[in-house]
């Protein structure tokens, strides 16, 4: 098959080229019109031809243990494909006492046969006993290249600094990378207690249970631990200009062998804490952790993503309907499930608010949404680029379409941060490993065809 007449994105910007693929792989990127013959031709005139998006941070169908789960694997992956993302990396979360391989197997059971896009799994570690840490090397061999630890969520997921250090040492030894949720669980718990003791239980108070100082303290702490242990580190969902500054300084001072990576998520770039003051529903929809921050932070984070201080753009997609959040809110804001949707929005919303506004080049956009997350997360030979030998994950994108955003697939309209946003750019067609899965903005597949991706750093 040949996609002809479109433009691929190179470092020089949009460049006319034809993309040739056979079966599941890209075979050639060639000058326009050079190869004809018997191939099937797809006309991409006026469109951008992009590599399928890579969202390295999602929570599809995540059970919370109280009968509530985030939007499921099928539904979330439907939004992903319709939004131009062909690969996601989700988190397998072990139950208390559960061996890590068992948690991974449980997550694969939930995903396989339901997921429409390709996926990998990070594995969360909340128990640093010798038994659990000993399970890490075998998982790395099976393609779980990344683990996650929390400094947040006291009494549930939180590791103290001593435990975090043990985890980092185990992860480094096995050749993997650690992802860290950097907020200080003690500080958040104390802030939450004060709020509840003084009757401040509405959703508008949620951000006050996640003070800026809490994130900055945890970021500083985990950067120091990374230096001490030499463990490759990604700080996920960085939400503050102050955190970014700490990362930047640590990179300046690092020795050559350390790997320090910063992830930012869509809602921390383009939605701000004003939503917590915009009424009950808006505040509920905006409940996520870390919370939305002030607009000044958003602007600094976007500048950081543009100039390379931040490495890639994810979503932390973890969608709950507004109805589910509302029902839980009766018990006070701490009961409200944390999370926002975004996997379907990431490409179009970032194109609208970063590229079409002239703040980010097309080349940097594709780098942060496709190539870098693939390279950093162990998919560098297969995903995130339009190049010979890579999977034929291809998106035809109309950069001129203008309309108001509607959540994709069965995403919840009322609970979305993006409903009604005037956007520029539309995903028209998508191929996953050479198979067309979206045509004219509609799903065309009959069977869930997503595959588990072993990842190796």
Residues near Zn ion, by CB under 5 A: 316
Q: Is 234 within 8 Å of 263 (Cβ atoms)?
A: yes
Q: What angle do CA 384, 454, 18 make, to 5 degrees?
A: 25
Among 356, 383, 444, smallest CA distance to 48 is for 356
- Closest to Zn ion by CB, 272 or 316: 316
Q: How far apart are CA 106 and CA 100, in angstroms?
A: 10
Note if the bond before 140 is cis, omega within 30 degrees: no
Q: How far apart are CA 6 and CA 47, in angstroms?
A: 5
- Closest to Zn ion by CB, 316 or 429: 316
Shortest CB 59 distance to Zn ion, Å: 6
Nearest residue relative to Zn ion (C-beta): 316
- Torsion 195-196-200-205 (CA) sign: positive
- Closest to Zn ion by CB, 44 or 271: 271
- Closest to Zn ion by CB, 317 or 382: 317
Shortest CB 239 distance to Zn ion, Å: 12
Shortest CB 260 distance to Zn ion, Å: 19
Q: How far apart are CA 15 and CA 32, in angstroms?
A: 10
Residue 425 three-state SS:
strand
Q: Is 51 within 8 Å of 371 (Cβ atoms)?
A: yes
- Closest to Zn ion by CB, 55 or 316: 316
Shortest CB 114 distance to Zn ion, Å: 20
Among 375, 449, 395, 440, smallest CA distance to 146 is for 375
Q: What is the DSSP letter of 338?
A: P
Shortest CB 421 distance to Zn ion, Å: 22
- Closest to Zn ion by CB, 316 or 375: 316
Shortest CB 58 distance to Zn ion, Å: 8
Residues in the chain: 457
Q: What is the DSSP letter of 391?
A: B
Among 102, 177, 181, 97, smallest CA distance to 144 is for 177
Shortest CB 340 distance to Zn ion, Å: 10
Among 317, 267, 336, smallest CA distance to 75 is for 317
Shortest CB 316 distance to Zn ion, Å: 4
Q: Note the Cα 415 to chain centre separation in Å.
A: 19
Q: Is 232 within 8 Å of 259 (Cβ atoms)?
A: yes
- Backbone φ and ψ for 95, nearest 5 degrees, come out as -75, 170
Shortest CB 280 distance to Zn ion, Å: 25
- Closest to Zn ion by CB, 18 or 316: 316
């Amino acid at each position: 098959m040949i996609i002809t007449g479109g433009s691929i994105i190179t470092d020089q910007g949009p460049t006319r080229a034809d993309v040739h693929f056979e079966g599941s792989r890209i075979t050639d990127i060639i000058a326009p019109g050079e190869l004809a013959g018997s191939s099937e031709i797809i006309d991409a005139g006026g469109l951008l031809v992009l590599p399928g998006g890579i969202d390295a941070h999602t929570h599809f169908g995540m059970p919370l243990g109280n009968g509530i789960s985030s939007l499921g694997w099928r539904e979330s992956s439907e939004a992903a494909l319709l939004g131009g993302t062909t690969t996601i990396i989700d988190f397998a979360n072990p139950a208390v006492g559960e061996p890590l391989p068992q948690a991974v197997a449980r997550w694969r059971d939930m995903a396989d046969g339901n997921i429409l896009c390709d996926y990998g799994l990070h594995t969360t570690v909340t128990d640093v006993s010798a038994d659990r840490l000993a399970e890490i090397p075998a998982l790395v061999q099976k393609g779980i290249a990344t683990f996650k630890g929390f400094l947040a969520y006291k009494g549930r997921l939180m590791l103290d600094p001593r435990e975090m250090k043990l985890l980092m040492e185990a992860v480094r030894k096995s050749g993997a990378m650690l992802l860290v949720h950097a907020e200080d669980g003690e500080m958040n718990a104390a802030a939450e207690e004060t709020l509840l003791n003084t009757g401040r239980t509405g959703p508008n108070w949620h951000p006050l249970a996640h003070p800026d100082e809490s994130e900055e303290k945890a970021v500083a702490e985990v950067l120091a631990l990374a230096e001490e242990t030499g463990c490759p580190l990604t700080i996920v969902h960085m939400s503050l200009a102050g955190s970014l500054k700490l990362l930047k300084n640590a990179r300046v001072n690092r020795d050559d062998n350390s790997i320090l990576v910063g992830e930012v998520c869509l809602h921390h770039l383009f939605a701000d804490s004003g939503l917590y003051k915009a009424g009950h529903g808006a505040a509920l929809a905006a409940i996520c952790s870390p919370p939305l921050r002030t607009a000044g932070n958003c602007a600094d984070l976007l500048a950081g993503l543009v100039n390379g201080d931040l490495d890639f753009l994810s979503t932390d997609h973890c969608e709950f309907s507004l109805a589910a959040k509302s029902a839980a809110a009766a018990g006070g804001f701490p009961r409200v499930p944390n999370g926002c949707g975004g996997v379907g929005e990431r490409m179009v919303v970032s194109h609208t608010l970063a590229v079409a506004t002239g703040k980010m080049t097309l080349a940097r956009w594709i780098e942060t949404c496709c190539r870098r997350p693939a390279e950093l997360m162990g998919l560098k030979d297969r995903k995130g680029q339009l190049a010979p030998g890579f999977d034929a994950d291809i998106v035809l994108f109309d950069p001129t379409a203008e309309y108001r955003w509607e959540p994709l697939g069965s995403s919840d309209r009322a609970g979305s941060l993006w409903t009604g946003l005037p956007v520029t750019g539309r995903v028209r067609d998508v191929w996953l490993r050479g198979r067309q899965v979206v045509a004219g903005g509609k799903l065309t597949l009959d069977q869930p065809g997503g595959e588990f991706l072993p990842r190796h750093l």
